[in-house]
Structure 1
């Protein structure tokens, strides 16, 4: 909250228990990278503020907060979860600087991404998305247990005389927040982004740039092949690094 208050003039921000609290610097980097993408490609007119579509905004509303307050962009923020939607709306209502720039809209059909959100006369300069990473809740739990085990070993090495077992109970508890839709989707990240790519074809003339985070580098090659098959005219991969965590932005357009 301190970062949001200091850098983005946010007076109120709170999350329901168990919902994902995002690492703000990494999310801000995504917004700054897509700002460069828009600037490099002269998106929109000089007198028109970009309109951004955030797919899966979550209860945190983090991309609209960073983008609207850093660049004055307009945002439409979407999610399938009603609690996330109500929380995001509350954040906008209580922060007047967001209320003027951010619209929150629920995706009623979890099988759709753009359909039901992009209206017939809508136009977006760019879309952003942090897709669910895992393919099942079991994958989430397995990944968490591996991380907890690694943390235990690191602590034991740093404190060989301590009681490493006191951390054992944590293995069965997630060390991060997040609802099912925030953490996993059937088929994982690749399936979600593939669905996004296929659906983007229907909105090729209503969106200048489609973008999404890609956590797994091995997904880039097949996603690039899919984009070429559906007729994307430009495809870009933007690499990002935050400490030991590497990720990348996949961007495409049909114009």
Structure 2
């Protein structure tokens, strides 16, 4: 008996000592972090190449200011200040993607501000002359070279500036005579731009978003060779046929990325469509221009970036010029902050994707509640609030009640949709209190109310985007958005499934319309696909045909990507097949 008691005591002691051991805890945390990193997308370079901060700081010496030493002698990178994130992103973008990256306010540079002031004047002139809303200039080449020189000088001086509060003052002697007609920079004391703050991205998570949605542009070679698209689609006794030409399946394709699978040593010949003919709309592109720069770098896609903040677009344009991407990335100014797609998407546009990193908060007071992180961002990047309209809300409630009656009558489809709900049970590993709260509010909407009678935040922004996407349902193949909270995923999914239920009942006109658009109105204009330029009137309601929910893992952070489309899968496959045949 005493021996058994002693043995139990020793076992308890061992367990306790192991849990209280600092080395054990650190090892466990590192294992968890590495485990989630391994869940990154297979084409994400950061899944296989862990960032070695010590080696990176040797090449990019401005990182040394935030390399700290622990008591045990190990070094770590201190993310406490926003400038640390900015400098790390700057180094990663250059090291892994050869992308030049600049944001103001972290390290203010008077010389870089000179170019910003020039772009300010040119953009105002451009917007006054044109109704297109594009931020693009014909005479930009005469000072782009000097802009790059100023940026290189700025980057060289960063190590001397990160530990001081003195603004960077660079010798202007290398500015060419071509800039004699440039406007003088405003006085720093009166320049509002000096106080602008913009969100700095974490690169591995952003590029993971790009890689995940790229799977939606994946072409299965077996279908390209063997399958005749639209052969079995029947709409009002009309068939839409498309016969494939001979495909060069064994030849290398420069404009596409081949995908290989390691599972069971099977090799897949599937490819991801690349090149500028895949056009992407970035809602809320921001000053960092991170998604267009990464998407164009990795997959050569073309982008149209949209923002409600004109200053964000101007700094975004600086990043575009620094990387010589002004022909691949275009910018548009959304003057109406209450709109998302209106005045941006034209009737003849065809985007393969729309992407969005929505504002997280509904109130300004919610920003920087985390005491361990100092978030520097523009208001429009992190806060979304829209005023309530009682009358419109009443009308919306009546419509939702009517929709619910229709859904209850559709019993057969309810049975078919049960597997969709079960499909999301793979989120069960996150079934914390948030999941229980989501189940209780399954048929309710989340409201973020304050004393001013406003609602907003991530959930409200995405629901608004879903509602407005129906107005341009044929202009975008896949609408996508990032979601930061799991409790919002289930509610957003329910919103989409409600629309899908109606799609099964009323899909005939929608399917026929989209079939006709793809067969008769689709054409190639230079390098882009678009529809014939004639206004389309839609005399019927449209509904979402399908959706996807992906999990995105980066470090200790998990995000979700929700995608929805008004096209059915056969129509999307047909379009991908056309793009593949004409581009290969």
Q: TM tier, shorter chain?
A: 0.7 to 0.9
Q: Which residue of 2 aligns with 1:159?
A: none
Return the structure number with greater relative CO, CA threshold 8 A, min gap 6.
Answer: 1
Counterpart pick for 1:54 among 265, 270, 282: 282
Q: Which residue of 1 aligns with 2:311?
A: 83
Is 1:20 aligned to 2:199, yes or no?
yes
Counterpart pick for 1:183 among 369, 374, 382: 382
Counterpart pick for 1:223 among 492, 510, 525: 492
Distance 1:60 1:121, change over 3 A: same
Which structure 2 residues correspond to residues 92-103 of structure 1 after superposition, within 5 A? 92-96=320-324, 98-103=325-330
Give the conservation status (yes or no) of the 8 Å contact 2:276–2:328.
no
Q: Secondary structure at the match of 1:99?
A: coil
State the structure with more CA Rg.
2
For 1:195 and 1:189, how far apart are their aligned partners in 2? Answer: 10
Distance 1:132 1:46, change over 3 A: closer
Q: TM-score, normalised by structure 2?
A: 0.37
Which structure 2 residues correspond to residues 99-248 of structure 1 after superposition, within 5 A? 99-140=326-367, 144-145=368-369, 147-148=370-371, 151=372, 175-186=374-385, 187-230=456-499, 231-248=543-560
Aligned-residue Cα RMSD (Å) equals 2.1
- Name stretches of at least 5 consecutive residues in structure 2 with no aligned partner: 1-89, 106-196, 225-270, 386-455, 500-542, 568-584
Which has the higher mean CA deviation after the structures are superposed, 221-230 or 39-48?
A: 39-48
For 1:70 and 1:39, how far apart are their aligned partners in 2? Answer: 15
- Number of paired residues? 225
Instruction: Name the structure where strand makes up a greater proportion of residues.
Output: 1
Distance apart, 1:135 and its partner CA: 0.9
Q: Which residue of 1 aligns with 2:3?
A: none
> What do residues 57-83 of structure 1 show as CA deviations (whole Å, max 9, x unaligned)?
100000000000101000001111011
Q: Secondary structure at the match of 2:553?
A: strand
Distance apart, 1:99 and its partner CA: 1.7
For 1:195 and 1:73, how far apart are their aligned partners in 2? Answer: 27
Q: TM-score, normalised by structure 1?
A: 0.83
Distance 1:16 1:205, change over 3 A: same
> What do residues 230-253 of structure 1 show as CA deviations (whole Å, max 9, x unaligned)?
421111100012222111000000
